[in-house]
Amino acid sequence: MSIRFVVAAVLLLMAIPAAGKQLAQKSTNSKPASQDTRPAISILSIVPTQGEPGNNVTLSGAGFSDKTTVFLGSNEIQPRVTGAKQLNFDIPKLAPGLYAIYLHREDGTTSKTYSFTVAPLKPVALSLSPDTVQSCATGRERDVTLTGRNFQEGSQVLFDGAVIASRFGSEESLSFTAPSVVGGLHQIQVKNPEETTTVPLALMINSRPEVTSVSQGEDFVSYYELVIEGRNFQQSSMVTIDGKRLGSGEGPAGERERLIFYNCNRLVYERHPYDSTSKGFRLQVVNQNGEESAVVQVTAP
């Protein structure tokens, strides 16, 4: 073998590694065609930074995609993405408290974590049925249904600020029995266990006397009974006969006529007529607080 052939072979072997090194270097410097060039996902603003379940929240930032999801703690939420820089979502039904909020993109990247407060769900009172209770109503006539939303099993009904017994029906319904109180407007509210309270509703306790009928009762020769039917009569109620007032119990000294209270729906006026001829007179019931019934025209002896 000649010396010239050996030298040529050696030079060839030395050239092969150098070429491989150049190819490897070229391969390393080249970028894969599939590499993700999207900006990092980030949150720049949260509006608002707290809210009740059901409230809407808007996030602004960068790097959002159609498949970006929101995490509130461990709860994943599918938001409404309105662009690469904004999305919004509704707060789900979660217990009140402080939650970590961040974004997750389908490529596995996540944003920086921030704090978000889920506030207690406030109860809302909408209506009372009935909204007027008669002062002398009894039993179920005093039952009131309160409708609204966001009620809980631990919700309480407040009557003029004081807790009264109530019955939970659903998240939209509570019921209670109106207590025996003075007539007039009274405030009704609902308070949830988290101390959130509704705006007051007005319940009318109607104590104004009302006469529905006047009829003759038993006849005792020298006097007869005039039966007055109606509602909201009181032990201290009086009747006015053509301007003359007569209270419950015995009549004034020298007077034989008297008024007898039976219950809040019936009064009996023992009338001693001068003769048996029918005549017209005006009758009215007046309660101690000054509330008066409508004047009734009566024709009797």
Tokens 């009620």 appear where? 151
Any domain includes 17:
no
Instruction: Report the C-alpha gap between 112 and 67 in whole angstroms.
Output: 18
**What's the CA gap between 201 and 208, in Å, rounded?**
21
8 A C-beta contact, residue 45 and residue 113: no
pLDDT for res 247: 85
Tens-place pLDDT, residues 210-261:
999 999 999 988 899 999 999 999 999 999 999 899 987 655 544 688 899 9
Indicate whether 140 and 105 sit together in one domain.
no
Which CB contacts under 8 angstroms, 24+ apart, belong to 22-31?
none
Q: Is residue 271, in this structure, part of any structural domain at all?
A: yes
Residue 55 domain flag: yes
Do both 215 and 199 map to the same domain? no
**Residue found by looking up tokens 């007077």 in the block:** 255
Number of domains present in the structure of the chain: 3
Q: Assess whether 81 and 145 both reside in one domain.
A: no
Q: What tokens were used for 193?
A: 């266990």
Tokens representing residue 12 in the block? 């060839």
Model confidence band, residue 26 (pLDDT cutoffs 50, 70, 90): very low
Are 52 and 114 part of one and the same domain? yes
In this structure, what CATH number is given to the domain that contains residue 223? Answer: 2.60.40.10
Whether 31 maps to a domain, the answer reads no
* Residue 8 maps to a domain: no
The answer to whether residues 246 and 170 belong to one domain is: no
Same domain, 153 and 198: yes
Domain of 271, in residue numbers = 210-300
Tens of pLDDT, residues 85-142: 999 999 999 999 999 999 999 999 999 999 999 999 999 999 999 999 999 999 999 9
pLDDT at 6 over 50: no
Indicate whether 114 and 137 sit together in one domain.
no
Pair 165, 88 in one domain: no
pLDDT score at 274: 83
Domain boundary among 118, 135, 152: 118
Query: Are 286 and 248 members of one domain?
Result: yes
Domain-terminating residue out of 149, 174, 206: 206
Could you tell me if 112 and 128 lie in one domain?
Answer: no
Q: What is the pTM of this model?
A: 0.72
| Same-domain pairing of 250 and 294 | yes
232 and 266, same domain (yes or no): yes
